[in-house]
Amino acid sequence: MLSTMQDVPLTVTRILRHGMTIHGKAQVTTWTGESEPQRRSFAEIGGRATRLANALRDELGVMDDERVATLMWNNAEHVEAYFAVPSMGAILHTLNLRLPAEQLSWIVNHAADRVIIVNGTVLPLLAPLLDDLPTVEHIIVSGAGDRAVLDGAAAEVHDYEELLARHSAAFESFAWPELDERRAALMCYTSGTTGDPKGVVFSHRSIYLHSMNVNQTESMGLTDRDTTLVVVPQFHVNAWGLPHATFMTGINMLMPDRFLQPAPLAEMIERERPSHAAAVPTIWQGLLAEVTAHPRDLSSMTRVTIGGSACPPALMEAYDKLGVRLCHAWGMTETSPLGTTSNPPAGLTEEEEWPYRITQGRFPASVEPRLVGPGGDILPWDNESAGELEVRGPWVARAYYGGAGGEELVPEEKFSPDGWLRTGDVGVISPDGYLTLTDRAKDVIKSGGEWISSVELENAIMAHPEVAEAAVVAVPDDKWGERPLATVVLKEDASVDYAALKAFLVGKVAKWQVPERWVLVESVPKTSVGKFDKKGIRKQYANGELDVTRL
């Protein structure tokens, strides 16, 4: 027997319409670096999103399933694109502006992006790539910037505000399609640990359900009385779902744009009085140093969601003294991203809460976890049996985007035969569902909330003509959580020094990925099957057995 309930699709369009009407007075405030930030109500954001949808369809001819990319900071215009593009039936593709040029070009071409919306301040990054982006037909520039760098581009260049001004803001002026909730809405690429970047495609349904999870009390627990400072980039797994979640419940957003340094963040917290914020640990380490040296009033910000990498307990304790509670969350691009949040159980003292707070958190109802041992056995939740974490749920990926042909990729190292996502993280789970990560199944380096591929770095170093071998491992770092250590074997009679090797990497990998720690060895230790023994290298480093040079 079937139910008697209505079958209404869960779509981004419905979140947009709800936010701009029911919560129309809520605001998106964008920091400008000037005396007054830019302020737009949700009603205004919705109207401008409608203008953008009309412009994309009528002037640029964007049709269903075509990709519209964004190369943007966190700001109101980016929020407008978040709603306009998927609601009209197209697919929003957020581009990570921190990626190396070669990788960024590969992603745009693999996704076959037809339009790119770009902040004017980011044009120097985009312009040199355009000759290698044959699918891009239109570039929409938002905000001030040197548009002269686009002279000679094959793609047609448009001004964002001029484009919007020519079209209606009335919601009914666009024929919003009634979309299947399982259709693609957004896509984001994760570089992973090896090989080419992998595309994760989020459905309208997964975004809707994930937004409901973000708004749960045991998750971020925000209401329309809150303002959230969204520091986590909108290109970093959709800003952890906050733009959609806020429109669902009327939470005000404070967007930092390109002003991500500790001093402007401290100023915007003091002036705009957000009650919540979300960012990776390195942001909060920098902010702590800033307010220690130059005290600011942070009293409004009582809660912070912190993820991307493990938060040092000392950092949590330091913020506790300031009245700011840091709350761990765990997730990944493939999990939309929220997988756990470390809110302790009710009825505990502060001392009793601490062991829960330093875990990665508890799983919500829609993320089902299991731990798999080396032999494939499913392990118990006893807080002792460590295995690789696998998850499944309505906002968890089941495959990767395979390219313009529409095929899917289901690599066996990432997905189990019965469809669970293999996270690559190793840990334990307590009987009441709290996750503690203890290691990584792969040798990926997690620096400041971003992934660094050790294999990619090794290949880049070994491309130097005087390098015979190179192994890269993660080592602890007080500021970034982890940083790469490069262990290098030079060819006979080679004379290259560390500074030259570091300079060689510039332009081949992202600047922030270049190692500061280097060591020369006669040979890289190997395992019994001839692979680099990275566990052995880490042990040598921990024991002080390596003569490390730090640049």
Name the residues annotated as catalytic.
Answer: 190, 334, 446, 451
Q: Which residue has the tokens 């002003």?
A: 259
Q: Is residue 95 a contact partner of residue 108, using CB atoms and an 8 Å limit?
A: yes
Beta strand extents in 122-181 (DSSP E only): 138-142, 156-159
Query: How far is it, in rounded angstroms, from Cα 211 to Cα 45?
Result: 18
**Are 301 and 274 contacting, i.e. CB atoms less than 8 angstroms apart?**
yes
Strand segments (E) across 153-302: 156-159, 184-190, 198-203, 227-230, 252-255, 276-279
The Cα 326–Cα 354 span in angstroms is 12
Whether 375 and 382 have beta carbons less than 8 Å apart is answered as no
SS3 of residue 101 by DSSP: helix
- The beta strand positions in 194-234, using DSSP E, are 198-203, 227-230
User: If we measure between CA atoms, which residue out of 17, 27, 19, 11 comes closest to residue 245?
Assistant: 19
Q: Could you tell me how many helices (H) and strands (E) the chain has, helices first?
A: 16, 29
d(CA 80, CA 333): 22
For 373, residues 6+ apart whose C-beta sits below 8 A from its C-beta are 379, 385, 387
Using alpha carbons only, what angle is made at residue 22 by residues 203 and 227, rounded to the nearest 5 degrees? 80
With 0-12 / 13-18 / 19 or more C-beta atoms within 10 angstroms meaning exposed / middle / buried, residue 379 is middle
Tell me the residue ranges of DSSP E strands in 11-169.
27-30, 38-41, 67-71, 91-94, 113-119, 138-142, 156-159
